[in-house]
Amino acid sequence: MNTMRKLLVAGVAAGFSLGAVATASANDELLVMQENAAWWVMPNGNYDATRFSSLSHINADNVGDLKVA
């Protein structure tokens, strides 16, 4: 391998390593907040991305009555 190719491979490997470390940590405050169903603290609801809400204010009987506020 020539020197440029070795540097490129090393740079890509370092980038993947840094990305893996950054995504592996969770915000402790968000972990606590996601336990409360009334607080939708992340786009997918929680770190598990369940997109499920246990709230029952909107249900199959009244969903058709929803309007833009």
CA 27 to chain centre: 11
Task: Give me the number of domains the chain comprises.
Answer: 1
Domain of residue 34, residue span:
3-65
Model pLDDT, residue 52:
87
Q: What is the pLDDT of residue 61?
A: 95
Query: What confidence score (pLDDT) does residue 28 get?
Result: 87
- What is the reported pLDDT for 47? 84
Cβ atoms of residues 42 and 59 within 8 Å: no
> CA-CA distance, 49 to 59, in Å (whole number)?
21
> What does the alpha-carbon distance between residue 67 and residue 69 come to, in Å, rounded to a whole number?
6
The whole model's pTM is what? Answer: 0.43
pLDDT for 17-65, tens place per residue?
A: 555 555 556 688 888 888 898 888 889 888 888 888 888 898 999 999 9
Write down the pLDDT at residue 9: 66
